[in-house]
């Protein structure tokens, strides 16, 4: 067996190169596609978040939330915690590093700080979701803004600003160019949607506020959401999409074994 | 005037408090050594470094996705915590976070579970100040080369810092600074060979 603390630099590099090659081979997500409407009888809970407002809710393991953006408002701030141990929470750095990409779309997962999957992106129309810059703060919009709304939502679970780390701005596409500059691609098309399946029992905060680089500081329409029971099937994409995800699910399933 | 001059061994943690106006110089003695760092308001540690506030402000000013001379590190209240006032490297990451035992299992295989990691270093140092895992957020990775390519790919590439290279920051408020001299050998951030660093605090 390899003594991992005492390999040569060349041996470590070979291991890393193999992982990187595998990640590049699996880089492509399925093409973005319109989602079939949900069966109304399957919807456990639904609602609409007005511009500038937020919700906080519990999303049990293997329930999914579909978030729809009918008017193409430029962003939706999201943060999630493990409901059973809220010190475990969304980790933006791990999410992009472990998957070797900042492109969060169908097939990708949202990692916690504990090497476990919190949620899976089971469907997505491809509007882009940003975990690098994140939601708006008082620097962009005094009130409401994503930062304050996520903290308010956290407060409703008894949590505080200690518990809100770097977050996601859904419906926000940000790219970098060769010179290292960020480019914000503007508001998504009306009707953009994304579906997240909880892989642990989650606390979820969702705010109808733009991303921090949006040229429009305030939301321009509602966000609609619907929750369904959605256990993964045998051929589930997210659980098998990458080797990294498979190991993340090993760690996650061990919590519920 | 030098307040402290510390040799930090390979793989080891370090922490210190700085008064506003004092400087901290981190020297990469042998090259290609990632140095993970976190910053807290010494008077209220629930105000802490925010990578997203920092990059949002930098992006809105036309700046890049990495840190360099002139970068202002902002808190989760959007306030200036520290400014990079000297830098021989030109690229410091704040997107990839710190390595952990748990994330290592996902990224490098379950067999890496018991290898040392930056978050272990951070947790040990945080505990000395009454802080805990809840207080860990995305950090700065000095001397760590993490390109984000136009296609969205994010990788940890070979470090570009030279032997004796350094970065120096000026505290803009009274700060608690946590350092992990990164022990990672499963990616190129330390040249697959963690080495010592030197930290000089001055005023």
Q: Please list, in sequence order, all residues whose beta carbon lies within 8 angstroms of the beta carbon of residue B145, skipping any fewer than 6 positions away.
A: B91, B93, B156, B157, B158, B159, B160, B189
Contact A139 B192 (CB under 8 A): no
pLDDT by residue (tens digit) across A60-107? 999 999 999 999 999 999 999 999 999 999 999 999 999 999 999 999
| Residue partners of B148: CB distance under 8 A and separation at least 6 | A102, A132, A176, A180, B65, B95, B154
Nearest to B87 by CA among B10, B173, B27, B7: B27
- Please tell me which residue of chain B has the smallest CA distance to A248: B106
Task: Look up tokens 């999303």; give the residue.
Answer: A59
How many CB atoms are located within 10 Å of the residue B158 CB?
Answer: 12
Using alpha carbons, select from A2, A101, A243 the residue that is nearest to residue B109: A243
Query: What is the nearest CA distance from B175 to chain A, expressed in angstroms?
Result: 17
Q: A with B: how many residue pairs have Cβ under 8 Å apart?
A: 170
Q: Which of residues 146-175 of B touch A (CB under 8 A)?
A: 146, 148-156
pLDDT for res A1: 63
Per-residue pLDDT of chain B (203 residues; tens, 9 = 90+): 999 999 999 999 999 999 999 999 999 999 999 999 999 999 999 999 999 999 999 999 999 999 999 999 999 999 999 999 999 999 999 999 999 999 999 999 999 999 999 999 999 999 999 999 999 999 999 999 999 999 999 999 999 999 999 999 999 999 999 999 999 999 999 999 999 999 999 99
Residue whose token pair is 């304050």: A148
Min distance A154 CA to chain B CA atoms (Å)? 13
Query: Model-level pTM?
Result: 0.97
The alpha-helical segments, DSSP class H, found in chain A are: 9-25, 92-98, 146-156, 237-240, 243-256
As a whole number of angstroms, the distance between CA B148 and CA A17 comes to 17
Q: Which ipTM value was assigned to this complex?
A: 0.97
SS3 B122: helix
Chain B environment of A16 (Cβ under 8 Å): 186-188
- Residues from chain B contacting residue A176 (CB–CB below 8 Å): 65, 148-150
The SS3 of residue B140 is strand
The per-residue DSSP string of B31-81 comes to SS--EEEEEEETT-TTSBB-HHHHHHHHHHTT-BSSB-TT-EEEBTTS-EE
User: Domain spans of chain B?
Assistant: 2-202
Coil, helix or strand at residue A238: helix
- Where does residue A62 rank: exposed (0-12), middle (13-18), buried (19+ CB within 10 A)? middle
């Amino acid at each position: 067996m390899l003594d991992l603390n005492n390999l040569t630099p060349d041996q470590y590099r070979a291991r890393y190169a193999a992982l990187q090659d595998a990640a590049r081979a699996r880089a492509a997500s399925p093409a973005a596609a319109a989602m079939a409407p949900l069966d109304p009888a399957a919807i456990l809970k639904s609602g609409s978040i007005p511009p500038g407002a937020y919700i906080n809710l519990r999303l049990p393991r293997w329930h999914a939330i579909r978030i729809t953006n009918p008017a193409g408002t430029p962003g939706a701030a999201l943060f999630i915690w493990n409901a059973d141990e809220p010190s475990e929470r969304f980790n933006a750095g791990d999410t992009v590093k472990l998957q070797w990409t900042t492109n969060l779309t169908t097939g990708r997962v949202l990692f916690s700080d504990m090497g476990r999957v919190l949620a899976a992106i089971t469907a997505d129309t491809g509007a882009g979701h940003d975990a690098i810059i994140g939601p708006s703060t008082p620097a962009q919009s005094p009130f409401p803004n994503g930062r304050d709304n996520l903290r308010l939502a956290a407060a409703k679970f008894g949590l505080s600003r200690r518990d809100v780390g770097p977050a996601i701005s859904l419906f926000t596409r940000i790219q970098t160019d060769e010179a290292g500059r960020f480019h914000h691609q503007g508001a998504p098309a009306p009707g953009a949607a994304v579906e997240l399946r909880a892989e642990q029992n989650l606390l979820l905060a969702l705010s109808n506020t733009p991303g921090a680089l949006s040229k429009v500081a305030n939301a321009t329409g509602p966000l609609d959401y619907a929750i369904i029971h959605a256990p993964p099937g045998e051929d589930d994409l997210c659980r098998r999409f990458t080797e990294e995800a498979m190991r993340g699910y090993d760690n996650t399933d061990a919590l519920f074994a | 005037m030098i307040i402290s001059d510390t040799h930090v061994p390979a793989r080891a943690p370090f922490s210190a408090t700085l008064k506003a106006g004092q400087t901290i110089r981190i020297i990469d003695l042998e090259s290609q050594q990632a140095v993970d760092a976190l910053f807290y308001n010494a008077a209220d540690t629930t105000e802490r470094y925010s990578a997203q506030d920092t990059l949002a402000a930098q992006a809105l000013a036309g700046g890049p996705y990495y840190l360099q001379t002139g970068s202002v590190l902002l808190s989760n209240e959007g306030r200036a915590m520290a400014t990079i006032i000297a830098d021989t490297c030109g690229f410091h990451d704040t997107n990839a976070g710190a390595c952990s035992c748990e994330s290592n299992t996902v990224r490098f295989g379950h067999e890496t579970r018991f290898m040392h990691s930056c978050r272990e270093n951070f947790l040990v140092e945080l505990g000395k100040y009454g802080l805990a895992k809840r207080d860990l957020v995305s950090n700065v990775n000095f001397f760590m080369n993490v390109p984000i390519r136009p296609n969205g790919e994010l990788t940890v590439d070979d470090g570009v810092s030279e032997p004796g290279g350094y970065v120096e920051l000026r505290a803009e408020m009274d700060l608690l600074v946590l350092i992990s001299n990164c022990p990672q050998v499963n990616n190129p951030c330390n040249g697959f060979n963690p080495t010592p660093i030197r930290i000089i605090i001055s005023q």
